[in-house]
Amino acid sequence: MHASKTIPKIVLTYFNIQGVAEKVRLALTLGNIPFQDTRVSFPEWPAMKTTTPYGQLPLMTIDDAPPFAQSAAMLRYAGKLATSNGCPLYPDEDYLKIEEALGFVSDIQRAWRIPVLVGIDPASLGHDPSADNSDVVKKVRSDFVANALPKYLTFLTAKLASSPYLCGSHPTIADCELVPVLNRMTCGQVDHVPTTCLDDFPTVQEYVARFMELETVKAWYESQA
Ligand SMILES: N[C@@H](CCC(=O)N[C@@H](CS)C(=O)NCC(=O)O)C(=O)O
């Protein structure tokens, strides 16, 4: 890991969506780590795909080394770099606490993946993509909102009862991972997942608002508008 104050030149390359890269962008932003935020358009992607390690984005280049893939690795790297730069997003002393929280967030993401996929890639779940799957999409997403989501939000509320962020008094990479997921659920762009889906969980709503109001996070999203 780089010594304090020695910040490498970072280029993060992803599509022009939040997707799996947003957590990394947030960790770099919160950690005051400058990075080049390269966005690849969908028409540009097919030619680039075969040049990437796993046929996927995001990629991260660090100084002039070959690019790294896998956003989970990038998130941890960004967290370490931020920590050595004075912003404790992934401090060694909280390693297990943060990894546990990341595991919890990945449970939420796994549950959220099916309701999303059923609409955008029904074939991956065995549905005929040329058929009208709207009833299935509605059922799977409504079930998620009624059952799985409240279960996770109840766990989350309990976790947030004793601290303002997932792992204590300061944001960590676990919050960088979770907040974009919750924002996606309330954005109103996923049919049958209403913008009100967190309304019964005010502690969670306050948590999201607290994170989004952090000065650097706020400035980040203002710059994206
Ligand atoms: N495990 C990888 C997953 C990356 C991934 O799924 N990338 C998708 C976009 S979210 C992608 O590149 N899709 C284009 C394709 O597969 O052609 C990570 O977290 O970085």
Residue 55 in contact with ligand 1 by CB distance below 6 A: yes
| 181 and 128 co-located in one domain | yes
**Candidate from 24, 48, 56 with most ligand 1 atoms within 8 A of CB, to mutate:** 56
State the pLDDT confidence band at 45, using cuts at 50, 70 and 90. very high
Same domain, 47 and 118: no
Ligand 1 centroid distance, CA of 5 (Å):
31
Percent of the chain predicted with pLDDT > 70: 98
What range defines the domain where residue 107 resides? 92-215
Tokens 């080049």 correspond to: 36
Q: Is the CB of 29 under 6 A from ligand 1?
A: no
In this prediction, residue 3 carries a pLDDT of 43
Please state, in angstroms and rounded to a whole number, the distance separating the CA atoms of residues 115 and 149: 11
Ligand 1 centroid from CA 164, angstroms: 31
What confidence tier does 28 reach under pLDDT thresholds 50, 70, 90?
very high
Kindly state the helix (H) or strand (E) to which residue 161 belongs, with its residue range: none
Decide whether any atom of ligand 1 lies within 6 Å of the 113 Cβ: no
For 181, residues 6+ apart whose C-beta sits below 8 A from its C-beta are: 105, 108, 109, 112
Examine the domain organization and report whether 200 and 106 are in the same domain: yes
5 — pLDDT class (breaks 50, 70, 90): low
> Are 56 and 159 in a shared domain?
no
Same domain, 97 and 194: yes
Ligand 1 centroid to residue 124 C-alpha, Å: 15
Q: Render pLDDT for 183-195 as a digit per residue (tens, 0 to 9).
A: 999 999 999 999 9
What average pLDDT does the segment 185-213 reach?
Answer: 98
Which tens digits make up the pLDDT trace of 121-177?
999 999 988 989 999 999 999 999 999 999 999 999 999 999 999 999 999 999 999
For residue 71, report the distance from its CA to the centre of ligand 1, in Å: 9
User: Residue 211 and residue 206: Cα distance in Å, rounded?
Assistant: 9
56 lines ligand 1 (CB under 6 A): yes
173 inside domain:
yes
**C-alpha distances in angstroms, 17 versus 9, 34, 164, 181?**
22, 19, 28, 13
- The CA distance from 41 to 46, in Å, is 10
Assess whether 113 and 191 both reside in one domain. yes
**pLDDT (tens digit per residue) in 83-116:** 999 999 999 999 999 999 999 999 999 999 999 9
**Atom 2, ligand 1: which residue's CA is nearest?**
70
24: Cβ contacts below 8 Å, ≥ 6 apart: 12, 58, 60, 71, 74, 75, 78, 176
Give pLDDT, residue 6. Answer: 81
Three-class DSSP category at 165: strand
